[in-house]
Amino acid sequence: MRYLSIVSALFFLLPVSAQMPSLQRTGKVTHLMVEGKPFLMIGGELHNSTSSSIDYMEKLDIWGTIEKAHYNTVIASASWELVEPEEGRFNFKQVDYLIKNARERNLKLVLIWFASWKNGASTYVPGWVKRNPKTYRYVQNSKGETLNVISPVLNETAMKSDANAFARLMQHIRETDPDHTVIMMQVENEVGVLTSVRDFSPEAQKSWKSDVPADLIAYLQSHKGKLFPELEKVWAANGYKTKGNWETIFGVSTTNTDNWQAYPFYSEELFMAYHYAKYIGTVAAMGKKEKTLPMYCNAWLKQPSGGYPGKFPSGGPLPEVLDVWRAAAPSVDFLAPDIYTDEFDYTLKQFSLGNNPFLILESTFEISKELYAIGEYDVLGFCPFGIDVNGGDFSMAATDDNTLDNLYQGNALLKQMDQLILAQYGSENLRGIYVDEVNPKMQLELGDYLLDFSLATSGTGTTQNDGTGAGFRKSRKNGGALILRAGPESLYIVGKDIRIAYKLKDPKTGQYAATESVEEGTFVNNQWVPGRRINGDETYFVSFSDVKAVKVVLYKAPFENRMLF
């Protein structure tokens, strides 16, 4: 006890810049701590290939775009093929360039380790790995065909090579980044087997027929009753057995793939998840020995266009296998969704199960979604993908709805009110609203008042790359808001494409909800700075088209606040 308090006192004496970024959990809330205080990541991810060339980044003035867009964090890749082009020879030129430029601009950096897997495939491994498929061993499908996916199943050679390179990267970061410009690491990218429900190679077949490993069984036993519902269900249905192979413990999977929210081929998915987690958990642990930055894995989602393993990468870090990842990869701190689907709220709900703190590491450029995720799900941050919008074929650039301008304006606002927001994580004083063409209304109870939000847009929806290789499509038109209560009757609202009507919760009081004042404004260093005062018929509803911040003070009037005629 005494020792602990001395240690924590020393920690607080460290200069803030020397404090290691970390995840800190208090009650139900997890904060990402940066420079000794909670950090809200208003981030953006570069296209995959951008950070491979310094000249390219300079020519396109990528840093200029980042600054114009008001991000506070850049997410960029560091690939195994460039970090270790020849076995045992390391090159950190690109990494150094990223750190230097981010630091000079007071930006934070998240590095993505594109290594054994990227979108399921093993495309970013160095040439000396690519040319040695026998040594590094690849996944086979049920027909015995080899896929471009390094097998995660008991593949010591590949795992050690990957982990060794990652550890060298982390060592380099420890040595060259003492003030922690790099705040977090993504280990691999959207892993899992595509086009096959699992690995059928001889080694994998043997493992599939062997007993479920003891560490997973021990985890199941100690978390019985608290597991992901489907996992609890299949384990219970098979008699909570603690010895036997994957089909003995979890059953022979159902194979009906009609319902994208069901769990066909679940035993196969659990099997692959265990092996990916074991492999990646080792890579992350080796890296953490060098520097203990928070580390996470990101997921290609189960979604209507791909609802079963093989259609989405089987074994990837999805909510239904969170328990398996936790059991096999304790050094991976959380699982993060890459959200390109309209099933936005469903995805957020799933990823928050099991107290998984999460970050939206890839998304479309939609500020409505960002406001909702921060306001309602206390996310660590929100990061659209492909922020260097001249990104060529894979550009995610939105082409309508003033999407980029709104995102940039929203980023600027959120950055200036970050501590106000973070201080309310876990409390009812912070809420989020998200409405779209399918669910255009939402109601919020705030003390004695009811606020009715509805979608109000003249826009046409956002054109986006759907992130699964299927190409561009229109997302649903949507609107959103973040609501921060400042007192029993006053609130700040940051919103877009939304209209708000207000009334008293109890209709029998003889009184009516009315606005005492409505101000547009902005935040500077977490202080409200009022701008235009809105009044009269502009306040019978409070409306947002382009993103803006408004302070509303409500009161109970003996009359209705409406046009007199």
Phi, psi of 138 (to 5 degrees): -115, 160
- Could you tell me the smallest distance in angstroms from the CB atom of residue 361 to ligand DGJ? 8
Pick out residues in 46-105 that bind ligand DGJ (CB under 6 A): 48
Look at the alpha carbons of 417, 419, 422, 427 in this order and tell me if their dihedral is positive or negative: negative
Which residues, including other chains, have CB under 8 Å from residue 49's CB and lie 6 or more apart?
Answer: none
Pick out residues in 238-297 that bind ligand DGJ (CB under 6 A): none
Q: Tokens at residue 543, please?
A: 């409306």
The partner residues of 83 in beta bridges, in order of sequence, read none
Total number of residues that touch ligand DGJ (CB under 6 A): 10
Q: Pick from 73, 94, 101, 119: which binds ligand DGJ (CB under 6 A)?
A: 119
Per DSSP, 201 falls in state S
Please check whether residue 188 is in contact with residue 113, taking contact to mean a CB–CB distance below 8 angstroms: yes
Residue 53, class by beta-carbon neighbours within 10 Å (0-12 exposed, 13-18 middle, 19+ buried)?
middle
Look at the alpha carbons of 420, 425, 429, 435 in this order and tell me if their dihedral is positive or negative: positive
Element spanning 455, H or E:
strand 449-455
Element spanning 416, H or E:
helix 403-416
Q: Tokens at residue 70, please?
A: 């008001």
- Could you tell me the smallest distance in angstroms from the CB atom of residue 394 to ligand DGJ? 5
Q: Pick from 362, 366, 378, 401: which binds ligand DGJ (CB under 6 A)?
A: 362
Between 338 and 436, name the residue whose CB sits nearer to ligand DGJ: 338
Q: How many CB atoms lie within 10 A of CB 118?
A: 21
- Could you tell me the smallest distance in angstroms from the CB atom of residue 307 to ligand DGJ? 18
Between 279 and 385, name the residue whose CB sits nearer to ligand DGJ: 385
**Cα(248)–Cα(365) distance, integer angstroms:** 45
Pick out residues in 167-206 that bind ligand DGJ (CB under 6 A): 189-190
Between 317 and 495, name the residue whose CB sits nearer to ligand DGJ: 317
Pick out residues in 312-351 that bind ligand DGJ (CB under 6 A): 338
Provide DSSP, 226-276: SS-HHHHHHHHHTTT--SSBHHHHH-SPP---S-TTS-TTHHHHHHHHHHH
Q: Pick from 394, 445, 447, 530: which binds ligand DGJ (CB under 6 A)?
A: 394
Pick out residues in 447-506 that bind ligand DGJ (CB under 6 A): 465, 467
- Could you tell me the smallest distance in angstroms from the CB atom of residue 190 to ligand DGJ? 4
**Cα(156)–Cα(6) distance, integer angstroms:** 41
- Could you tell me the smallest distance in angstroms from the CB atom of residue 75 to ligand DGJ? 10
Between 346 and 394, name the residue whose CB sits nearer to ligand DGJ: 394
- Could you tell me the smallest distance in angstroms from the CB atom of residue 348 to ligand DGJ? 18
Element spanning 146, H or E:
strand 146-150
- Could you tell me the smallest distance in angstroms from the CB atom of residue 118 to ligand DGJ? 7
Q: Which residue is nearest to ligand DGJ (CB)?
A: 467
Between 43 and 264, name the residue whose CB sits nearer to ligand DGJ: 43
Look at the alpha carbons of 340, 346, 352, 356 in this order and tell me if their dihedral is positive or negative: negative
- Could you tell me the smallest distance in angstroms from the CB atom of residue 206 to ligand DGJ? 31
Residues written for the chain:
565
Between 338 and 497, name the residue whose CB sits nearer to ligand DGJ: 338
- Could you tell me the smallest distance in angstroms from the CB atom of residue 338 to ligand DGJ? 5
Please check whether residue 124 is in contact with residue 80, taking contact to mean a CB–CB distance below 8 angstroms: yes
Residues in contact with ligand DGJ by CB under 6 A are 48, 119, 189-190, 338, 362, 385, 394, 465, 467
